[in-house]
Chain A
Amino acid sequence: MLFYLVKRLGLSALVIALVVLVLFSLLHLIPGDPATIALGPRATPEAIARYAAKMHLDEPVWRQFLIYVGNAVTGDLGVDVFSDRNVTAVVGDRIGFTLALICASMGWAVLLGLPLGCLAAVRPNSWLDRVTGVLSVGTIAVPSFLVSIWALLIFAVELRWLPAIGAGEPGDTMDQLSHLVLPAFAVGLSWVGYLARMVRASMLEVMAEPYIRSARAFGLRPRKIVYGYALRVAILPTITLIGMGFGGLISAAVFAEIIFARPGIGKLIYDAVMARNFPVVQGAVLVATAMYIGIVLMSDLLIAWFDPRVRESL
């Protein structure tokens, strides 16, 4: 297990190193002079020179790369072009909002998707299975930005049950939760469908296994068989899916954060791209990537922990 952990950590570090290289290259691959692009067409030559010096753009490219990597390793992601704030602090201010949104979205999707998948698998081809199937495909097919807009129009504009914009009053938990409902609904909806379909398929496969037949023959209660034995095995591919899904949720969160005007890492990246604030783009993408890699790593470790076969094969 320890060897497996070390191997996975090494691979994760390699992926992050590649991401750093790509992010650094982006600045130089975009057509045009980086300083002019960042400061706008009417920037004075003095402002462009100041920017170039601040960003080390007047140094050779290899040296710029080494400076960037050296700083990133120590947690220094550079300085915001405009506000002079440390990018690590800027990203730190927003990451909590994105994590809250992603966890809430995946949380309610898991709470609803898993039981739906189990129920559909227990009674295959029943009306419940068919309804769940149609709903699942429906929710998977609708993109989250569309759900965001519909949810906003229905629940905020028309019914005025829930707030439309922002993250809520700082320090007021109920207000912050109320501001989380619509974005989490919009981001998580398609995952309800994904998870239900995934769990159903896995469960059907597991329920046909001989050991489940044996359990039935021994007269164990159906609930015990489904949740105690079958789901424990059927959940394994779902854990991988959830882990991978966090990456997708980070992308979906960008739309939700823009539409609901929520602070978050997705909106930070979007705003920084619009403002050509390259250090913030690089820092925020790097943190988002590291977050994603961390979650995938955790899901792999969870699978190893759940499944003795995986543990033994390591």
Chain B
Amino acid sequence: MLDKADGQIFTGNVRLVHAVGMHARPAVKLTKLAKKFQAQISVRVAGAAEWINAKSVVKIMAMRAAHGSTIEIRASGSDAEVAVAALVDLIASDFPDGA
């Protein structure tokens, strides 16, 4: 699911399977995980105009990503590739507890 765009930027996309969409609990988990990486990470609902900082819970909530929508992830920086893979995994596995 990952493709290398241009040397520095890594991207991925994943379907949001969480039953209530991107709500408080998943948004908190997503930002917590994103903050573990040095990389600059952005996300958006597929096709949306604006990329959103994956480390901001306020902006993630404001994204209003619904159940079944596709989330695009883009990262650049030293650990960008791992970061994209980890976030894809978190969303695909429906934000398991302990993640």
- A and B associate: no
A residues neighboring B (CB under 8 Å): none
Q: Please list the residues of chain B having a beta carbon within 8 angstroms of any beta carbon in chain A.
A: none
